[in-house]
Amino acid sequence: MTIQEKQGVLSPGDIVGMTTALARRPPAKPEFLGLAKYDAMVSAIAECHSIDEVKNIHDLSIALEKYANQAKNYDAELRAMDVRIRASQRAGELIAEGQKNGTIAHVGQPRKERSSETTILSPKKLEELGISKDQSSQWQQLAGIEPKEVEKQLPLATGKRTSVKRIIRESRPKRDPAREREQKLETFALRIWGRLRDLPTITEDMPLKEVVGAMNKQLVDGVTRSIPKVRTFLSALEVDLEGTSHRRSTGDYQRGTDSPGPTGPNLAELNGGGNEPAREDPELVR
């Protein structure tokens, strides 16, 4: 054991040496996964300031995880998995920093031409660093999650196997059906208000009789079929509005809890879309 290992710190040279040793002679037991070694690797990840260093730790932890699994050493496997995820998180931070300061190329970014008079250092591409586009994307997403949220989902915190993808998925905002319904009700209410507000202004520039005269047979038939539905809808709307006004005046009204009138057609019908379902909020679908 080196002095650095005793102090709980692994240098890049130590990490490379461990990786090489594993590649040449896989240990019969996952000896590198004791608590002292785990603590040293976690400390090394925090001290990493280059992609190469943290990538070496990431690759080493994958090998250690595999050997621990083969040896049926569940605790050692969780420690290696924990290290791998921490290394992925740190790599995501370094990739984001590198792309911001120009030392790492963005995906699809062309190389700069080298000048004969001045030396221009081209940013390194992900493939040159041994990192795939998917890894870069996932690692940066992981790095963007609140550290405390990541910590509580790590294998040693839960005692269960996990992955970068799962942590990202579990950290997304949870769906709130009640809030989603309230948002849809608000959207529908604004749509009704807007259409009724604009209806009287449609024929301000053109007399209604002339507008009707310009309709072809298909339009006439469509409007004729819609008039009874609109009439029924407006009647039901008027009844519901009167009821809502009464409940508000008596303090018996609760926002979002009153159901729509039973006889009126839904807005999708009036919109010509049949029973078209309401669109999902794109932020919630992700």
Q: Which residue has the higher pLDDT, 196 or 14?
A: 196
Which own/partner pairs from 225-231 qualify as long-range (CB within 8 Å, at least 24 positions apart)? 226/270, 229/265, 229/269, 229/270, 230/270
* Tens digits of residue pLDDT in 166-178: 999 999 888 888 9
Q: What's residue 217's pLDDT?
A: 94
Ordered by start, the domain boundaries in the chain are 3-108+120-170, 177-285
Overall size of the chain counted in residues: 286
Average model confidence (pLDDT) across the chain: 79
Q: Which two tokens stand for residue 138?
A: 């996932």
Beta-carbon count within 10 A of 30 CB = 24
Strands (E), the chain: none
Q: Is the pLDDT of residue 6 over 80?
A: no
Q: What's residue 211's pLDDT?
A: 87
Q: How far is 160 from 132, CA to CA, in rounded Å?
A: 27
